[in-house]
Amino acid sequence: MATVPLFSQFPCKTLAPSPNSKSNSKSPIILPTNPINRRSEIGIAVHRPDFRVRAIDADDEWGSDAVESRGGGGSVSVAEKAAEEAIGSVEETERLKRLLVDSLYGTDRGLTASSETRGEIGELITQLESMNPTPAPNEALFLLNGKWILAYTSFVGLFPLLSRRIEPLVKVDEISQTIDSDSFTVQNSVRFAGPLATTSFSTNAKFEIRSPKRVQIKFEQGVIGTPQLTDSIEIPEFVEVLGQKIDLNPIKGLLTSVQDTASSVAKTISSQPPLKFSLPGDRTQSWLLTTYLDKDLRISRGDAGSVFVLIKEGSSLLNP
Task: Domains for the chain: give ranges and CATH numbers.
Answer: 81-225+274-314 (2.40.128.280)
Written as one letter, the residue type at 224 is: I
Report the number of secondary-structure helices (H) and strands (E) in the chain: 8, 12
> Which backbone phi and psi does 37 adopt, to 5 degrees?
-95, -170
> Which backbone phi and psi does 101 adopt, to 5 degrees?
-60, -40
Q: Return the closest-CA partner of residue 295 out of 133, 163, 159.
A: 133
Q: What pairs with residue 223 in β-bridges? A: 202, 276
CA 237 to chain centre: 43
What 3-state class would DSSP assign to 144? helix
- Pair 300, 289: CB distance under 8 Å: yes
Distance (Å, whole) CA 163 – CA 171:
8
Tens of pLDDT along the chain (320 residues)? 444 444 444 454 444 455 544 444 444 444 444 444 444 444 444 445 554 545 444 444 444 444 444 444 455 688 777 777 778 788 999 999 999 999 999 999 998 999 999 999 999 999 999 999 999 999 999 999 999 999 999 988 787 777 754 456 678 889 999 999 999 999 999 998 876 678 888 999 999 999 999 999 998 888 888 777 665 556 666 666 555 666 666 666 665 566 556 666 656 666 677 778 787 766 678 899 999 999 999 999 997 789 999 999 999 999 86
Longest Cα–Cα distance of the chain, Å, equals: 149
- Pair 44, 10: CB distance under 8 Å: no
Q: Return the closest-CA partner of residue 104 out of 124, 128, 133.
A: 124
Distance (Å, whole) CA 238 – CA 246:
5
